[in-house]
């Protein structure tokens, strides 16, 4: 033993280990580098031969070494072979190798170096190619075979839309999706279903959940870089049978590029109005079985300052609001960022991603909607007022395939910090405390600079196992059977819940609010079946989810799905039923707990929240090839959502329903120089529950408090009946591409509970109590109360609007110059969301950028 220790201390053991490990591996990488250099030399010589007219020599050399080329080098070799056949007027061979090139890289875009004839061939092949997706049933399949309507968004489509973030990409291309503004969150609705944050749509990165385990939120903002994306697969409809909770209304799976796709460095920088600054970096390389890719994206702006004055419909200047300026689209004092690295080696894959985002609310919280002095509030834990998330995700997986059997095992680790720093009021408001039920802290609301602060840290460990078996049964049946199982362990490290006054916080209160709610465990098993008999496909699935919550309550949910698909050469029909759920976010349940503990509220302690549910029936018809370059799809759906969670400012409860029918139309038309993508959605909500005030006495009958009870609205809420998007692209020259996105939204109506009116109602009740009903003051208060009941349950209209975005891309060698203008005509309009009044939207924003590939 002493001798071993001596060897370690002397350093001889370290030297032996280095000799055993490093030398063979360094030789391995040196061999890779030498082979790669040799292949590049072969390609460079062939390219030189082609340029001086020795096309046959170039082709023979490339054909001889074709099987040894990898990644982008193979793609370039296939392209050059196709060009040599084009020089020989061999159209068949030209198309053959151009097809192989596009199979190697379906997203290849013609450049100024490509002859016009070759560009036409590539465009024609692209128009006829069938794109494959993996999200719809955890296996690769064509869009015609997927069991539910699915939208595929390619890298080229993202650029053509001029979108600045994921939210805008989804709203442009996915029918049924539209933007929702809930004041302090980047949000999106799906078929009229939404919440105060983006917590009902599952967003994944290469198949792994990005939604927070404590809030269920994954804001599709600037913290999700668009530059790293190869394609986006969007499942339109419930998907819990595959992905469990959060996949209530749909799934967005972001598929990243690989190192072979990048094959070098891509650097991009941009600058725009309102203090916009943006920088992106992609690095990627592939060496045989080793593929490495990394990305970095940073974005910041100062926001668009807007003077609202007395024109803002949702503010009440009589309450004492003194500010008239707001900032729209502001991302906070710290920039948002998205950093990540991926490594794959044969069946192994490793991923690390960290993101930070912050959305600054233009107005004070919820339905009060006052302008406020953003800079007057001090930093808390380094953050200014807003809703922010800092997340870390690490994943290691192994995939093994032998014959018809395949298995994938992965382990994940997630850690995050969530902060919700909300301004309640700049000015004193003695009645706001009673309206929110914060009686013990009533003295807070006799001061200026009122705010609420929630901060927490959490982490989650997860294990996932997925296996599949492809089978044939006789000569007529073929299909696959898939089995999956997952386990996750969630731990809340700490949570702080505090109220601030005089632009500061009570440090003693924050210390007392530090609470550990222990852990939660989740497990699930799923079974998926896909069977094809001639042209008929049966796709079915079932998943069982079990969650043991921190308070010893449990959630047990079955999520079924079944679909029938009829495939024909130029059309297909799909009929499906699916049911999904999303469990009540941990933060909502913990906030309820803290609320009742901190206020010692006299009502019974009813804080348990159940999951939200959605049932959906869908019938779709899709056609392709009827007219050259044209594909289309029409889909009808009926959605039944129940137990929607709503808030009254501080508490959460299951208090909503949404029954909706709708029709979606998608179409795209492509030629070699022109593309058009169009979607149109008609949506009708025939039963929706919101909340309305109900004044009730407390247990002793001495005072009154305000409780919200369900009210039925027969119509859309914050959702247009008609919604349409049109994205047009024109390759004006070999170097210049022009594109535009035109959005049309029909008239909308918002319903919300006006906190300002509630404060005045509280004042009237105090006057009645102090002066009596028979006094002049009491009679005036009683008459005003009758008027306030209608004002408290507010209903506002938002007019129809058309928003035009315009952009241009100019390519010069390795450089690409871009200019995108959003809301070209500076149209002034409003949006709204759950528990939110009218929110003014961004005016004309522009961003100019330059990128280079090395």
Q: Is the pLDDT of residue 313 over 50?
A: no
Nearest C-alpha neighbor of 552 from the set 607, 497, 496: 607
Judge whether 595 and 540 are in contact, CB under 8 Å: no
Alpha-carbon distance 601 to 703, whole Å? 13
Q: Where are the alpha helices (DSSP H) in 703-815?
A: 755-771, 776-792
More confident residue, 763 or 816: 816
Q: Which residues contact 298 (CB under 8 A, 6 or more apart)?
A: 277, 278, 279, 280, 335, 336, 337
- The vertex-829 CA angle with 826 and 834, nearest 5°, equals 140
Q: Is the pLDDT of residue 594 over 70?
A: no
Residue 189, both tokens? 């609705």
More confident residue, 116 or 48: 48
Question: What's the average model confidence in pLDDT over 478-500?
Answer: 89
Torsion of CA 226, 227, 228, 231, to 10 degrees: 60
Beta bridge partners of 687: 659
Q: Which of 15-29, 479-493, 498-512, 668-682 has the lowest mean pLDDT?
A: 15-29
pLDDT of residue 691: 54
Alpha-carbon distance 758 to 761, whole Å? 5
In this predicted model, what pLDDT tens digit does every residue of 662-704 receive, in sequence order?
A: 999 999 998 888 999 999 999 999 877 765 444 444 444 343 4
Q: What pLDDT band is residue 443 in, cutting at 50, 70 and 90? A: low
Q: Is the pLDDT of residue 164 over 90?
A: yes
- The vertex-557 CA angle with 555 and 563, nearest 5°, equals 160
In this predicted model, what pLDDT tens digit does every residue of 104-141 receive, in sequence order?
A: 777 677 776 788 778 877 876 765 555 677 776 777 77
Q: Is the pLDDT of residue 14 over 50?
A: no
What are the φ/ψ torsions at residue 707 (nearest 5 degrees)?
Answer: -125, 145
Beta bridge partners of 668: 631, 677
What are the φ/ψ torsions at residue 104 (nearest 5 degrees)?
Answer: -65, -40
Q: What pLDDT band is residue 381 in, cutting at 50, 70 and 90? A: confident
Residue 766, both tokens? 């105090």
Question: What's the average model confidence in pLDDT over 809-837?
Answer: 92
Residue 759, both tokens? 């404060």
Q: Where are the alpha helices (DSSP H) in 415-573?
A: 432-436, 507-512
What are the φ/ψ torsions at residue 137 (nearest 5 degrees)?
Answer: -150, 30
In this predicted model, what pLDDT tens digit does every residue of 269-290 receive, in sequence order?
A: 999 999 999 999 999 998 878 9
pLDDT of residue 35: 65
More confident residue, 797 or 595: 797
H/E stretch holding 807 reads strand 801-812
Q: What pLDDT band is residue 323 in, cutting at 50, 70 and 90? A: low
Alpha-carbon distance 14 to 12, whole Å? 5
Torsion of CA 712, 718, 722, 724, to 10 degrees: -150
More confident residue, 255 or 1: 255
Q: Is 78 helix (H, G, I), strand (E, B) or coil?
A: helix
Question: What's the average model confidence in pLDDT over 198-225?
Answer: 92
Alpha-carbon distance 725 to 681, whole Å? 9
pLDDT of residue 371: 87
Q: What is the DSSP string of 442-459?
A: GGGGGSSSEEEEEEEEEE
Nearest C-alpha neighbor of 564 from the set 535, 542, 543: 535
> Which range, 58-72, 297-311, 410-424, has the best average confidence (pLDDT)?
410-424
pLDDT of residue 320: 42
Q: pTM of the predicted model, to two decimals?
A: 0.83
Nearest C-alpha neighbor of 669 from the set 635, 703, 627, 698: 627
Q: What is the DSSP string of 347-388?
A: TEEEEEEEEEEEE--SSSTTTT-----GGGSPPBTTB-SEEE
More confident residue, 535 or 119: 535
Q: Which residues of 258-272 are buried (b: 16+ CB within 10 A; e: fewer)?
A: bbbbbbeebebebeb
**Within its chain, how far is the Cα of 507 from the centroid?**
36
- The vertex-570 CA angle with 564 and 575, nearest 5°, equals 20
Alpha-carbon distance 286 to 260, whole Å? 5
Q: What is the DSSP string of 26-51?
A: HHHHHHHHHHHHHHHHHHHHHHHHHH
């Amino acid at each position: 033993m002493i001798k071993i220790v001596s060897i370690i201390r002397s350093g001889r053991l370290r030297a032996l280990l280095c000799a055993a490990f490093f030398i063979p591996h360094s030789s391995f990488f040196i061999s890779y580098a030498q082979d790669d250099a040799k292949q590049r030399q072969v390609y460079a010589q062939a390219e030189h031969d082609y340029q001086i007219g020795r096309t046959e020599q170039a082709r023979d050399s490339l054909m001889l070494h074709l099987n040894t080329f990898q990644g982008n080098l193979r793609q370039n070799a296939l392209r050059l072979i196709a060009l040599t056949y084009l020089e020989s007027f061999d159209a068949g061979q030209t198309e053959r190798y151009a097809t192989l090139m596009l199979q190697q890289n379906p997203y290849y875009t013609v450049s100024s170096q490509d002859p016009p004839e070759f560009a036409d061939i590539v465009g024609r092949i692209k128009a006829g190619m069938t794109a494959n997706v993996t999200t719809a049933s955890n296996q690769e399949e064509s869009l015609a075979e997927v069991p539910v309507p699915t939208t595929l968004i390619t890298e080229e489509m993202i650029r053509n839309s001029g979108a600045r973030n994921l939210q805008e990409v989804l709203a442009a291309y996915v029918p049924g999706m539209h933007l929702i503004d809930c004041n302090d969150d980047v949000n999106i609705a799906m078929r009229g279903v939404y919440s105060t944050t983006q917590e009902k749509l599952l967003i994944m990165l290469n198949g792994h959940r990005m939604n927070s385990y404590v809030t269920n939120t994954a804001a599709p903002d600037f913290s999700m870089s668009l530059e790293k994306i190869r394609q986006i697969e969007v499942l339109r409809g419930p998907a819990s049978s595959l992905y469990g909770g959060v996949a209530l209304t749909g799934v967005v799976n972001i598929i990243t590029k690989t190192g072979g796709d990048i094959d070098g460095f891509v650097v991009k920088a941009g600058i725009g109005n309102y203090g916009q600054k943006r920088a992106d970096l992609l690095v990627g390389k592939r060496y045989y079985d080793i593929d490495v890719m990394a990305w970095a994206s940073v974005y910041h702006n100062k926001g668009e300052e807007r003077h609202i004055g007395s024109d803002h419909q949702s503010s009440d200047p009589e309450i004492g609001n003194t500010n008239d300026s707001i900032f729209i689209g502001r991302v906070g004092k710290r920039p948002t960022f998205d950093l990540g690295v991926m490594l794959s080696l044969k069946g192994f894959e490793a991923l690390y991603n960290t993101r930070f985002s912050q959305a600054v609310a233009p107005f004070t919280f919820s339905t009060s909607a006052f302008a406020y002095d953003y800079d007057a509030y001090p930093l808390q834990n380094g953050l200014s007022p807003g809703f922010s998330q800092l997340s870390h995700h690490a994943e290691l997986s192994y995939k093994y395939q032998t014959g018809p059997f395949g298995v994938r095992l992965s382990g994940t680790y997630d850690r995050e910090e969530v902060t919700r720093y909300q301004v309640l009021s700049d000015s004193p408001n003695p009645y706001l405390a009673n309206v929110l039920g914060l009686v013990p802290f009533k003295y807070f609301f006799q001061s200026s600079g009122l705010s609420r602060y929630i901060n927490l840290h959490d982490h989650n460990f997860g294990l996932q196992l997925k296996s599949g078996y492809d089978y044939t049964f006789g000569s007529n049946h073929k299909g696959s059977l898939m089995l999956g199982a997952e386990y996750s362990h969630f731990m809340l490290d700490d949570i702080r819940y505090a109220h601030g006054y005089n632009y500061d916080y009570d440090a003693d209160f924050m210390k007392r609010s530090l609470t550990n709610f222990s852990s939660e465990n989740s497990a699930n098993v799923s079974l998926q079946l896909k069977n094809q008999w001639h042209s008929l496909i049966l796709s079915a699935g079932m998943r069982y989810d079990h969650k043991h919550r921190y308070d010893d309550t449990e959630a047990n949910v079955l999520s079924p799905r079944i679909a029938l698909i009829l495939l024909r050469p130029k059309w297909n029909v799909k009929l499906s039923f699916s049911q999904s759920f999303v469990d009540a976010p941990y933060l909502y349940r913990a906030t309820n707990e803290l609320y009742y503990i901190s206020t010692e509220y006299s009502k019974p302690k009813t804080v348990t929240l159940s999951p939200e549910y959605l049932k959906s029936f869908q019938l779709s018809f899709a056609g392709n090839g009827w007219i050259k370059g044209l594909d289309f799809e029409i889909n009808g759906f009926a959605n039944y959502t129940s137990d929607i969670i709503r808030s009254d400012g501080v508490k959460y409860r299951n208090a909503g329903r949404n029954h909706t029918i709708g029709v979606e139309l998608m179409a795209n038309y492509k030629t070699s120089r022109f593309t058009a993508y169009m979607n149109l959605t008609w949506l009708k909500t025939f039963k929706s529950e919101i909340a309305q005030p109900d004044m009730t006495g407390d247990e002793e009958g001495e005072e009154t408090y305000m409780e919200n009870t369900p009210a039925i609205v027969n119509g859309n809420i914050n959702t247009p009946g008609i919604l349409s998007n049109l994205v047009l692209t024109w390759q004006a020259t070999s170097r210049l591409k022009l594109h535009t996105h035109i959005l049309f939204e029909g008239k909308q109506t918002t319903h919300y509970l006006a906190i300002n009116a509630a404060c005045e109602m509280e004042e009237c009740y105090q006057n009645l109590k102090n002066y009596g009903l028979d006094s002049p003051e009491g009679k005036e208060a009683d008459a005003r109360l009758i008027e306030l009941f209608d004002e408290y349950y507010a209903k506002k209209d938002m007019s129809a609007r058309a928003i035009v975005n315009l952009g241009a891309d100019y390519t010069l060698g390795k450089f690409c110059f871009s200019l995108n203008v959003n809301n070209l005509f500076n149209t002034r309009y409003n949006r709204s969301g759950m528990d939110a009044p009218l929110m003014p939207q961004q005016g004309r924003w522009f961003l100019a950028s330059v990128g280079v590939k090395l």
